[in-house]
Structure 1
Amino acid sequence: MMTDPWDRFFAAVAEEIPEALQLRRQLHRAPCISGEEGPTRDLVLQALGSPEWDPVADTGGLVRIGPSDGPAIALRAELDALPILEETGAAFASTNGAMHACGHDVHIAAAVAVARAAQRVALPVALLLILQPREEAYPSGARDICESGLLEQHGVREVFGAHVHPRVPAGGIAIGEGAVNAAADEFGIAVRGIGGHAAYPHHARDPIVALAAVIGAMQMILNRRIDPMHPAVLSFGTIHAGSAANVIPSEARARGSMRTMHPRDRAFLHTEIPRVASEVAAAHGCSAEVEIISGEPVLYNHPEMSRSLMRALEGRAVRVVEPMRSCGADDFSYYTERLPGVMMFVGVARSEHEPALHTSAFLPGDEAVSDIAMAYAISVRTAFGIGVGAGSGAEAA
């Protein structure tokens, strides 16, 4: 007979997996896009037995399990799906034009398994389940939750997140110390010229040619103005101009994304992109206007917590693989700006041709639910043991 509450907790998590798999299918079959996650939140609350909860960030919620006062350890579960038409062929595939193409259904189901286990076993620390909306869209749900003051009211001491990843081998968990995801911002560029007939370009000021030059110049900023040892990416995702092949339009627009790992590089690009766009456009007789939308900060894993968690995972025969770092972004970074935290990347790659995140064929296996649930359970146990305490993750390093 097990007397240690943590042993009972781990056993209870394992017992909750079958129900969690059923929940995963329910969630996957009926996804809700960013800003419309209310039905998903309500389904999760129902799975938890309709407990008391705090509404937050419009369609999100916080559920506290365990002691009603004192410190808490938080687990994040993202509620939203993407506006993608699913093409997985799964029996539980979505048919409503949205899709859990980033694995959020897996994350939610795993977190619910841990939360239900915590309801059954009296742990010496409270668990706060963060049901977060708008991970995939601005304004960030994580930012709104952090600014609500509720994390402080609940005495959150540490926070953990997990994300399936098709570039990490199935069954493996990747944890890196320090920066693991980039800061992500969006920008829009509008180049304005003088429209005209395609046969008489000398009577016009072609904004398409000017915008093409601006796009090329943006890549030169990275090549020649950013330290080559610093990861940084500028990618253009949309270009719009004109309405006919024989007409030079008066305006051309583009939108893109910038990713940086270093705060100085981020600040530099915020000032340099408008300057370069304006001057290059002017060289073509045009003008340029730039809008920059600030997004997530760098996602920073607390070093001591990361090391302790890796040791704890290995101690329970969980395969820890090479750290996963990328210029991807996740608004979990807002939590780690305020609190010691760790993001784990959980492997779902069953072959080298595993479909990518945010594609219509991405479908993690059921085993990922169990992998994340156990990783979350071990995270809670580890955090209770080391007691890093509240404060900025970056400051605590």
Structure 2
Amino acid sequence: MPIINRIAEFHEDMKEWRQYLHAHPELGYDVEETAAYVVDKLKSFGITQIEEGVGRTGVVAVIEGQGGDGPTIGLRADMDALPIQEVRDLPYKSKVDGKMHACGHDGHTTMLLGAARYLAETRNFSGRVALIFQPAEEGGGGGLAMCEDGMMEKYAISQVYGIHNHPGGEFGAWYTRPGPLMAAADTFEIKVTGKGAHAAMPHEGIDSVMIACQIAQGLQMIAARNVDPLKSCVLSITQIHAGATHNVIPDTAQLSGTVRTLDEEVRDFTIARMSEVAENIARAHGGTAVVEYEKGYPVTVNHPAETEFASAVAAAVSGEERVDTDVSPMMGAEDFSYMLEKRPGAYMFLGGGGGAGLHHPEYDFNDEMSPVGASWFVKVVETAQPAT
């Protein structure tokens, strides 16, 4: 595997960075110490054009190439951890109770720092590279916040690329596809109102619990019978809350959950159909239902030409036989989607060779991936914007 020799030379440094970040996790936008660590490293590499506080706590650093004028290419890594208690007794185990890097963002940040060090040393490219260190990927929409701060326009970013580790994938192999790669992720709450009564005299009330149960069943018909079976829709009810005692039928009940789709038309149809199903079922039994629907991250859509390019670079790093460009779309979500809405680019998964899955309390990023990902980041820049 042709990892860049210079990056291989400082692999041990990258391990140290990653394990430090793993031991000091921060959540959401509250990544001030992580961002400060990133800035300190960037400065130590000789990078001087650094902006902090982008998208509240994000960092953008710019490296000027020595190969002549040209566009700016964006490379992105996320910095935040998860509210999960780590259970493995690692030497660099999380020092913060209830928080851990269970999704590998410590590794993503490390890979981009490794690329930053090499690019700052060599500058063997034209134009500029913008290194994007993002907060709040895990549900906070930090990617959107950075875009709303005008990052793409301010730095004239012309295309953007990112990596996510894939612990279940073959080590050093790459997985992607053009078009929809990851789903839109929305949330909903449904409040059902009936009429309370003694449980021994149900005829005197309107049973909000039974209405809620029928709504739960009815909603499953949307994906099963209303959506084209060749298109994807996952509607999961994850909470039902009602009542406070065993012998009273409560006035109200509440359902909540998530909807995942890969197509904007399916997404909009599902929103409308959910209200129809819930309201009509409730009305049929004398009650009411109100659906509150919140759109979350949009579909992560890879641009075809940039995906082909990114895959070719991955083949140069890992070998053509280790690049899968037709991976099935995933119903998880990713807020890199906001950046891909603003600029053409591609998102890639890098295989970690096994171990616990993402968001698992035993997960740990495989440090052997860091030189592979850093080499890919570098080659993306040097290939897209060669020195003239």
TM-score normalised according to structure 1 size: 0.89
Contact map agreement 2:301 2:340 (CA 8 A) in 1:
yes
- Cα distance change on mapping 1:234 and 1:52 into 2, 3 Å: same
User: Is 1:64 matched with 2:65?
Assistant: no
Q: Give the Cα separation in 1 of the matches to 2:246 and 2:91.
A: 46
Higher alpha-carbon deviation: 151-160 or 191-200:
191-200
Q: Give the Cα separation in 2 of the matches to 1:377 and 1:122.
A: 10
Structure 1 residues 364-383: aligned runs within 5 Å:
364-383=365-384
User: Is 1:13 matched with 2:40?
Assistant: no
Structure 2 counterpart of 1:291, one-letter code:
E
1:301 CA drift (Å): 1.1
Structure 2 counterpart of 1:227, one-letter code:
D
Q: Give the Cα separation in 1 of the matches to 2:88 and 2:71.
A: 42
Q: Which runs of 5+ in 2 are unaligned?
A: none
Q: Give the Cα separation in 1 of the matches to 2:115 and 2:39.
A: 14
Question: Aligned residue for 1:327?
Answer: 331
| 1:151-189 superposed Cα distances (whole Å, 9 cap, x missing partner) | 112111111111012332222111211111111111111
Q: Give the Cα separation in 1 of the matches to 2:81 and 2:208.
A: 36
1:86 CA drift (Å): 0.8
Q: Give the Cα separation in 1 of the matches to 2:122 and 2:70.
A: 17
Contact map agreement 1:53 1:61 (CA 8 A) in 2:
yes
- Cα distance change on mapping 1:70 and 1:171 into 2, 3 Å: closer
Coordinate RMSD, CA, aligned: 2.0
- Cα distance change on mapping 1:295 and 1:104 into 2, 3 Å: same
Structure 1 counterpart of 2:337, one-letter code:
S
Higher alpha-carbon deviation: 306-315 or 218-227:
306-315
Structure 2 counterpart of 1:32, one-letter code:
E
Q: Give the Cα separation in 2 of the matches to 1:222 and 1:374.
A: 42
Structure 1 counterpart of 2:12, one-letter code:
P
Aligned residues: 374
1:324 CA drift (Å): 4.7
Structure 2 counterpart of 1:183, one-letter code:
A
Q: Give the Cα separation in 1 of the matches to 2:236 and 2:383.
A: 39
Q: Give the Cα separation in 1 of the matches to 2:114 and 2:317.
A: 18
Question: Aligned residue for 1:394?
Answer: none
User: Is 1:269 matched with 2:287?
Assistant: no
Contact map agreement 1:191 1:207 (CA 8 A) in 2:
yes
Contact map agreement 1:16 1:116 (CA 8 A) in 2:
no
1:29 CA drift (Å): 0.5
Equivalent position SS for 1:89: coil
User: Is 1:29 matched with 2:23?
Assistant: yes
Contact map agreement 1:308 1:382 (CA 8 A) in 2:
no
Higher alpha-carbon deviation: 24-33 or 116-125:
116-125
Structure 2 counterpart of 1:339, one-letter code:
R
Q: Give the Cα separation in 1 of the matches to 2:109 and 2:287.
A: 49
Equivalent position SS for 2:255: strand
1:70 CA drift (Å): 5.1
Question: Aligned residue for 1:116?
Answer: 117
Contact map agreement 1:115 1:127 (CA 8 A) in 2:
no
Higher alpha-carbon deviation: 235-244 or 112-121:
235-244
Question: Aligned residue for 1:105?
Answer: 106
Question: Aligned residue for 2:37?
Answer: 43
Q: Give the Cα separation in 1 of the matches to 2:255 and 2:153.
A: 40
Question: Aligned residue for 1:91?
Answer: 91
Question: Aligned residue for 1:135?
Answer: 137
Equivalent position SS for 2:330: coil
- Cα distance change on mapping 1:154 and 1:325 into 2, 3 Å: same
Structure 2 counterpart of 1:119, one-letter code:
A
1:329 CA drift (Å): 0.8
Contact map agreement 1:78 1:108 (CA 8 A) in 2:
yes
Structure 1 counterpart of 2:101, one-letter code:
H
Equivalent position SS for 2:10: helix
Equivalent position SS for 1:267: helix
Contact map agreement 2:317 2:375 (CA 8 A) in 1:
no
- Cα distance change on mapping 1:95 and 1:281 into 2, 3 Å: farther
Percent of residue pairs bearing the same amino acid type: 35
Equivalent position SS for 1:49: helix
Q: Give the Cα separation in 1 of the matches to 2:203 and 2:372.
A: 64
Question: Aligned residue for 2:351?
Answer: 347
Question: Aligned residue for 1:53?
Answer: 50
Question: Aligned residue for 1:389?
Answer: none
1:67 CA drift (Å): 4.9
Question: Aligned residue for 1:281?
Answer: 282
Equivalent position SS for 2:168: strand
Q: Give the Cα separation in 1 of the matches to 2:363 and 2:177.
A: 24
Q: Give the Cα separation in 2 of the matches to 1:72 and 1:305.
A: 15
Q: Give the Cα separation in 1 of the matches to 2:258 and 2:228.
A: 19
Structure 1 counterpart of 2:283, one-letter code:
A
Structure 1 counterpart of 2:340, one-letter code:
T
